[in-house]
Structure 1
């Protein structure tokens, strides 16, 4: 399986995509405006004891939400100087999650600075090595870096650090420490709400978070960015090939066409089945169906094969659409526990390349599969689409029967004998109902003039002209 990273630069606008065997897995660009990870000087606007929370002005429109339990002793000592938390208090806060809908951004005082190889926690003692690094010797080697830390500092070693010389990792740690000192100094001098540290630009983000050992080839259409990629690749692996190509790479690699899948509720599977997905505020639900699938020796084998295909596609859709939170999957029922155990292994394999933290909780007593996926930025649906002004985001409109019944009721309220003409304007979908409408008011059908230019399929317009 070949994994390709595409970096597409157009007039200083940077977009990136990951494609595996020609199939789009992930997309990210500068349009995905996010403040997650940014550090701010904030001001406490309101404390709500019932929620054990505070609302903080960070200068980004909506006030941020901060759990008071996040304000630990180390934070109070080093940042607040033992001051009481009250309205008007100046705080150093970090955006944990972007604003979603009517909710403002979620903030934290458990601050962290993210590098390529480590995540540095200046006010926490948390220490660990990525679970994706499984070699015991490598884990022990990387843990030796903790000896360089102060008592109240924390560090998590990221997956990208595997096989990287300790000196390189320690250099990054020192760089993050220096950056923290500058941030803290700027905070103490600040007199008003402002941004202190912004997360990296799109190209920096791509190089830090998406260029790794899983990538086989990189295609870039900008000479300067291409040189940056080559320098970064030297630190990671000699096996990664870097290519410079002119033109729109998203067009060349069929990325634009594949983005159309984001508008679809159902996704077809290779064997003839399909996956349907629905998203609510609380969770995302996937429903797996065999449909026209006939592959397999028997019904159990058919269900298992379709479920395995669905697991791979669901993992892809979660990455591509950047879906987070609680996720429920209704797989096709199978006859015994062995099938479910095998399916669980396939599900785990499907999520191995997902950069987000995924927790697989397993099957419930009802046979539903539960999992969670963490993300800090809005989903692709929130970024790329807005609610339909006609259906209000429901994806449905009233049936023709309902609208025509309302129309007939409105006409019955009018004394049509008083008017020389009655103009009815409906949506184009009612173009085949002209005779039926006139039949409903047969006594006055010669007065009725019907047009089909109304933009709202749920409504109609009635225009009356009085007799002269």
Structure 2
């Protein structure tokens, strides 16, 4: 499988695309005016404690106060850790208290950022946990011998670095196959960085920013680059130079794969990324067979409906349904990554009678999710035949980054019909007649509504004029949406 990373960099916006076999799989967008803050460390001030929710609001200097749950507050010592989850929040923090916290989730919609005091700082191969002496290994490193080798390298590296040094480490997936020198370099880098952070904490007052994560183009090199990546193409000479220096220092094994793209044609156009981004904003996803998906994203959950559409198959209905579901399972896994959908996800595959077909579709779907960088958990198939799952949400979805609710329908996705608005206008005129004395009434509305009032509803308008004994005039307002109208007293 060939994988490439494409970087489109401008002063206002950075975009990174992960492409597998020529098909866009993931897109990351970071705008200069609204950079994500996951991974940032702050010295915050507790502004409100909520005993009923076992949580507190913390001011970290953002527009909205951030949120921390009792379970995310690290114990002061090892003895506390056993009973930490059972302790009331009021015993752990109090209003006005300073707290060093790290952001685990960006602010989403109306919700503030989510915080933890379990600080973790990532490098290329290791993640430092300053308040923990544990050594953990990514579950994606499956080979038992390699896991044991890596564990010993880290434990030896921790001893060499000094017995007084505290803090544990997690070995990332990218650590598979690394040398002793690379392990030691990461340990040294992370411990020096933590010393700097501790010094900054002592000198700072709350609320203030203590540490900011790397910009998107460097985070990509740290987090997404693995041996499968064949090329990293960058369309900005300045960013290419920065990435090249970063690679030489921290990811030397991919040094020869970073390329500057000087072409006149935009890099995302050349690889069809722009078209795929636009398609990913649509509710409907067309499948090659003729079937399609309908994806509805709401604040509570995301629902995905699978339909056979124009696909009629060659044998029988059950075979047609099975093939559509198989294709859909691969497409859905890609759409979750591409749209960065998180939280609760409900998938309504087409009903299958054959239990073996059901198992195969679920297996295919689980296999397709293996490449996902976000943590996913399929809880099973419900009594209604729905696949229920969760996908960890750490940043805004693609739709939330690029779009805003429609001001006309206010995000409902539907408009009142012209007929409905006409009847609302009639009721509004009757209210006005009872409340005010006027010689006549002028209705300001959209062209569709006025056309209907003068055509299909003309007899009703005549009856209303006769009833109120006053003339009613109509005026088209080009800037009004179909639902907007005003009744003016003349």
Contact 1:94 1:108 survives alignment (8 Å): yes
Aligned length: 460
Partner in structure 2 of residue 65 of structure 1 = 67
Once residues 186 and 379 of structure 1 are traced to their aligned partners in structure 2, the CA distance between those partners, rounded to angstroms, is 33
Specify which of 284, 295, 317 is matched with residue 335 of structure 2.
317
After superposition, give the CA deviation of every residue in 1:221-279 in whole Å (9 maximum; x if it has no partner).
22343345556286335884735333432233332232222331111111111111222
1:163 and 2:177 correspond: yes
Q: Is the 8 A contact 1:275 1:286 kept in 2?
A: yes
| Partner in structure 2 of residue 193 of structure 1 | 207
| Moved >4 Å (runs of 4+) | 74-77, 227-231, 237-241, 412-416, 418-422, 443-447
Q: 1:369 aligns with which of 377, 387, 391?
A: 387
1:236 correspondence with 2:253: yes
Equivalent residues of 1:129, 1:143 under 8 A apart: yes
Q: Which runs of 5+ in 1 are unaligned?
A: 78-82
Indicate whether 1:216 and 2:241 are aligned.
no
Match of 1:2 in 2: 2
Q: Distance in 2 between matches of 1:405 and 1:447?
A: 14
Q: In the alignment, does 2:151 pair up with 1:143?
A: yes
Quote how far apart the aligned CAs of 1:422 are: 4.7
Shift of 1:44: 1.4
- C-alpha change, 1:253 and 1:129, in structure 2 (3 Å) is same
Change (3 A) 1:412 1:65: closer
The answer to whether the 8 Å contact 1:6/1:16 transfers is: yes
Does residue 326 in structure 1 map to residue 340 in structure 2?
Answer: no
- Aligned counterparts of 2:458 and 2:325: Cα–Cα separation in 1: 52
**CA 1:334 to 1:345, structure 2 compared with 1: closer, same or farther past 3 Å?**
same
**Residue 98 (structure 2) pairs with residue 90 (structure 1):** yes
2:457 to 432, 437, 441: 437
Partner of 2:371: 353
Partners of 2:260 and 2:204 lie apart in 1 by 45
Q: 2:263 aligns with which of 246, 254, 261?
A: 246
TM-score (norm 2): 0.85
Tell me, yes or no, if structure 1 residue 174 matches structure 2 residue 194.
no
Distance 2:318 2:92 in 1: 63
Q: CA deviation at 1:30?
A: 2.4
Residues 436 and 297 (structure 1), Cα distance of their counterparts in 2 relative to 1, 3 Å cut:
same
Q: Which moved more, 1:150-159 or 1:180-189?
A: 150-159
What does the per-residue CA deviation read over 1:366-401, in whole Å, with 9 as the maximum and x for residues that have no partner? 211122111321222222222222212111211222
1:255 has 2:257 as partner: no
1:463 and 1:261 mapped to 2: Cα distance? 44
Segments of 5+ residues of structure 2 without an aligned counterpart are 80-90
**RMSD between aligned alpha carbons?**
2.9
1:302 is the counterpart of 2:317: no
**For the residues of structure 1 that align with 2:448 and 2:334, how far apart are their CA atoms?**
36
Structure 1 distance, partners of 2:360, 2:259, is: 38
Q: Would the alpha carbon gap of residues 11 and 184 (structure 1) be closer, same or farther in structure 2, given more than 3 Å must change?
A: closer
Aligned partners of 2:357 and 2:404: how far apart in 1?
A: 40
Cα distance, 1:85 vs. partner?
3.1
CA 1:127–1:39 in 2, change beyond 3 Å: closer, same or farther? same
Which position in structure 2 is the counterpart of 1:80? Answer: none
Residues 1:344 and 2:352 are matched in the alignment: no
Contact 2:308 2:321 in 1 (8 A): yes
Q: Which moved more, 1:407-416 or 1:362-371?
A: 407-416
Residues 395, 126 of structure 1: alpha-carbon distance in 2 compared, 3 angstrom cutoff: farther
SS of alignment partner, residue 371 of structure 2? coil
Output the CA distance in 1 between the equivalents of 2:166 and 2:328. Answer: 46
SS at match of 2:209: strand
Name the counterpart of 1:459. 484
- The answer on whether the counterparts of 1:296 and 1:305 sit within 8 Å (CA) in structure 2 is no
TM-score for the superposition, normalised by structure 1: 0.89
Cα distance 1:52–1:447, how it changes in 2: closer, same or farther (>3 A)? closer
Q: CA deviation at 1:108?
A: 0.5
For 2:66 and 2:239, locate their aligned partners in 1 and report how far apart those are by CA, in whole Å: 35
Shift of 1:6: 0.8
Report SS of the residue matched to 2:280: helix
2:217–2:243 contact (8 Å) kept in structure 1: no
Alpha-carbon distance in structure 2 between the residues aligned to 1:139 and 1:339 = 36
Deviations 1:375-431 (CA, angstroms, capped at 9, x unpaired): 321222222222222212111211222111112233445669x97765433223336
2 CA distance for matches of 1:84 and 1:211? 40
Counterpart of 2:58 in 1: which secondary structure? strand
Report the counterpart of residue 424 of structure 1 in structure 2: 443
